[in-house]
Amino acid sequence: MSLLQKGSARLLAKRPPVPRYCISVPTRPASSQASSPAASNARTLLYAAVFTASAGLFTIYYLDSRSALHRYVLTPAIRGLFDAETGHKLAVKALKYGIAAKDQVEDDASIQGEIWGQAVNNPVGVAAGFDKDGEAIDGLFDLGFSWVEIGSVTPKPQPGNPKPRVFRLEEDQAIINRYGFPSQGHAFVLSRLKERLPQFFTESKPASLRPGDLLAVNLGKNKDSPADSIDDFVAGVKSFGPLSDVLVINVSSPNTPGLRGLQNKDHLERLLAGVTKARDELEPSSLTSRRPKLVLKLAPDLEEDQLIDIADVVQQAKIDGVIVSNTTIQRPKHLVNANKQEIGGLSGPPVKAYSLKALKTLRQHLPESIPLIGCGGISTGADALEFAKAGASLVQIYTSFGYDGVGTCRRIKDELVAELKKEGKSWNEVVTSAVKQLSPVPSPLNEEIKKGEDAVSQLVAEANYLKNLLEEATENVTGSEAKTPEAESVSKPSESVELAEVQASVVA
């Protein structure tokens, strides 16, 4: 062993052993130890203040529907973590319980809409299918929609089609669904609508309970009802008429067997006559002081001659408006996602061309007095303006709302304001111009024929009234004066001759 190694060994031998787990802690001066509780309290208060301020700022940011957080963080996270139907249900519950964002901005005057002579705050609504059972009505209005359409609602509760039944096509920004009208039924949804009503109200108000907004109920039929039966729709009119601004007759879902067959002219005439009669028999609502408007919702897959027939039936039945359109059963060749093979109705940008084509056809065959509501593939302000130029008074969104989240309505409205500024027009000016240009010009001959038909109907009614008076007078005379059989045989033919003469003069 070298001298250096021996010296090192001696030094180590003399050094006292150190415990393996002993940690040396330096002592503080007494003055420092005495001041530590005060410093600790100050730090705690500072942290609490920072946390409270941060939480408050985050809450303000979160509750504003314009926040990029919703479109680029929360909504994609939900899509990544949950399947389409579960994500849909979570969104409805968030809106139901008031924990979703709200539209904090007042609508620009340039996007004020109008339908049936009534002003609406803006032209953007949410289509049926999102809030099927009327759970999130006020949450949806809080997002800035001017038209909230709940349903479809069926008379009896039904579960809908087996799961899975909703599929995302993310590369195409589209959805395929085959829900099949899952519904909690008329009674349950009706109770929800009644819960919204104020306990006392002294003046009439819209069923939305918000000035400038409309509440619509989309009526469907049960899967086990006869295919050609109109009873489910008539029941819906009677149930929801007093608590809605608009009732939508949905004969266009591809997911209920036989339902689209009601779009055929013969079936549609009977259906629309039945629901119109049921609506007209309702007493004016104690809430709105009027009867609801009736609107028909169509598929985008109809041929031009079918749409022309439907336009004729809509006019004859005095339906108030048409929504164009529901989902499509067509599959454009440019679809990318593998889910394109799933059975069901396709919605989103791929359906836009079909909806626009059907809307333009209907606008060319319906008078200006019957408004159209555009729906199908609307995801930007430019899309909404395109539908306005095709003659749509209002528009609805669905799939873009699912992909972009709670800020979608506000974003589309802001984009629409910018598009209208480029045009130098308001929404109503664009719509009015398009409707006048595209709607058929009323024929003077048709107007005269219509006036003549109304006049004949009035004269026939008056003739029947006179006939009843004549019969009553005859009965009175018969009761006071006994007539011989010969007199009766003479008087009755003379009365028949007089009545025939009156009817003949009316027809002439």
User: In the block, which residue shows the tokens 């303000």?
Assistant: 60
Q: Using alpha carbons, select from 322, 312, 304 the residue that is nearest to residue 375.
A: 322
Backbone angles phi, psi at 347, to 5 degrees: -135, 165
Phi/psi for 152 (5° steps) reads: -75, 145
Give long-range contacts, CB 8 A cutoff, 24+ apart: 56-63: 62/101, 63/101, 63/102, 63/104
Catalytic residues: 253
Q: Measure the CA–CA gap between 99 and 360, rounded to whole angstroms.
A: 40
Q: What single-letter DSSP state applies at residue 242?
A: G
Is the separation of the CB atoms in 332 and 358 below 8 Å? no
Whole-number Å distance between alpha carbons of 85 and 165: 8
Give the tokens for residue 479: 């009761």
**What is the distance between the alpha carbons of residues 277 and 329, in angstroms, rounded to a whole number?**
32
**Rounded to whole angstroms, how far apart are CA atoms 300 and 328?**
6
> Which of these, 124, 87, 119, 145, lies nearest to 378 by C-alpha position?
124
Residue 16 CB neighbour total at 10 angstroms: 4
- Torsion sign (Cα): 156, 162, 168, 174: negative
Which residues in 325-454 belong to E strands, given as ranges? 345-347, 372-375, 392-397
Q: Residue 267: how many CB atoms within 10 A of its CB? A: 17
Residue 329 CB partners (closer than 8 Å, separation 6+): 254, 299, 301, 345, 346
> Which DSSP string corresponds to 288-353?
TSSPPEEEEEE-TT--HHHHHHHHHHHHHHT--EEEE---BS---TT--SGGGGSSSEEESGGGHH
**Conformational region of residue 318, where left means phi above 0, alpha means psi within -120 to 50, and beta covers everything else:** left
